[in-house]
Amino acid sequence: MTEYLDRWFAFSERGSSLRLEILGGATTFATMAYIIVVNPAILANANIPIGPSTIATILASAFGCLLMGLYANRPIAVAPYMGENAFIAFSMAAVITWQQRLGSVFIAGAIFLALTLLRARSWLAEAIAPNLKHSFAIGIGLFMLLIGMYETGIVVRAPSPATPLKIGEIRDMKVMLAIAGFFLMAVLTYWNVRGAILIGIAVIAAIGCILGLGEAPDAVLAWPGDYHAEHVAGQLDILGCLRFDFAGILLTLFLISFLDTIGTIYALGSAVGMVDEKGYLQDVEKPMIVDSISCMFSALVGTSTSGAYIESATGIREGARTGLAAVVTGLLFAAALFFVPLVQPLQSLKFAYYPALMIVGAMMFMAVRRLDTEDLTEFLPALVTIVMMVFSYNIANGLTAGLVLHPALKLVSWRWREIHPGAALLGGLCLVYYVFGEVH
């Protein structure tokens, strides 16, 4: 069996072993298993039923990991993205149904797949200025932090129109538990504890249950069919999204997924020695095809955009070098289908799982150190992107505003030679959306 697996995955050739691949895959699963709890709970804000959504999250994660391992042979786990789920749950207009939100995810994945197959990936990746790419991560990170603080009561809506938000009742036990959860996750993450976020959720949830603020699981095992995945699977509305006023939504979903994928795949590819001195990643189209197909599959089963997870770095640190580790991660996600009763009570405890959104947002904000603040034609579009995402409570507004402003500033500064044709195209599309679309 070991020889057969070695011929398929070539782990000996890449300096690994069967033991290291299994250990790496299990480590990656422990690090990112929190998504089983957090993703459905966030999507519940878009009225996606939480029980079926949990099954969809697990199915999407298992499918993405197995496809990445068996087809692309990379030790990279794939699951529904943090950030994109917040966009789907909080940024999209209230008039958009959750079925249309899923349809948007499918279409964005199809666009991603088409561009990958046409090998237009590098052209589009080069079109977006590095400062804007960093600002997307920073803005989404701050947006996630704001959502977490608001949903846990750390900040609340102020009664006065002059002060939209104010500090919440920090002496409230639930608020104190949320703050403690954020602190605990931060400490565990700092000390590189495997499964830091999942451990933090479990510890704070257990304390909450002891204090009478939640309920313990009433079972350990259950048949996945008990959660009626058919209530969200196949319910996406694709035709309903083929409207002009959906252009900003589709563009945003595509770009944030595309940029997340590019950054994550290259970072992890470098860690396993698959990026050469010129920055070229071997067979880059394969993991990107996996991400795009996984995105479309996620919409079909009823959850948000899927993509490569940076948490895969924990498995790589344990020695994983091939797709066998991703297969192990996928199989562990598949096994989790039968343990949903263990995690379901956590999804009603905002003080336990929203700190996870906050800590991930804080880590995304760390991209701020890479911002160029000297050149105003680079810095101002990035700043506008960030503040528009947060202050308008909509990721799409920030992303599209930045894409419009960047080429516009270059043009009026007589630096039009610095405008990439793709940037001009994206900026033009976003401008048309702002002028004629239904901006929310």
128: containing domain: 2-436
**Residue carrying the six token digits 């507004």:** 397
- In 60-199 the beta strands, taken as DSSP E runs, fall at 78-80, 155-157, 165-167
Report the amino acid identity of residue 91: S
Say how many C-beta atoms besides its own lie within 10 A of residue 398's C-beta: 27
pLDDT given at position 273: 64
Q: Which of 9, 3, 6 is nearest to 68 (CA)?
A: 9
Q: Which of 391, 397, 362 is nearest to 165 (CA)?
A: 391
- Return the axis-axis angle of helices 376-391 and 395-412, rounded to nearest 10°: 160
- The kind and range of the H/E element at 364 are helix 350-365
Given a contact cutoff of 8 angstroms between Cβ atoms, the answer to whether 177 and 204 are in contact is yes
80 three-class SS: strand
pLDDT given at position 293: 95
The encoded tokens of residue 28 equal 């990656």
Alpha-carbon distances of 343 from 188, 199, 350, rounded to whole Å: 21, 12, 13
CA distance 55 to 59: 6
Mean pLDDT by runs of 10 across the 440 residues of the chain is 84 88 89 90 91 95 97 93 82 78 92 86 77 86 90 89 85 96 94 86 93 85 87 92 80 76 69 56 79 95 90 80 94 95 86 89 86 92 93 83 94 92 87 69
pLDDT given at position 149: 95
Complete DSSP assignment for 18-66:
HHHHHHHHHHHHHHHTTHHHHHHHHHGGGT--HHHHHHHHHHHHHHHHH
The encoded tokens of residue 153 equal 């009561």
Complete DSSP assignment for 192-236:
T-TTHHHHHHHHHHHHHHHTTSS---S-S---GGGG-GGGTTT--
- Paired sense of beta strands 78-80 and 165-167, if any: unpaired
CA distance 339 to 389: 36
Alpha-carbon distances of 124 from 118, 206, 254, 258, 268, rounded to whole Å: 12, 46, 11, 9, 21
Number of structural domains found in the chain: 1
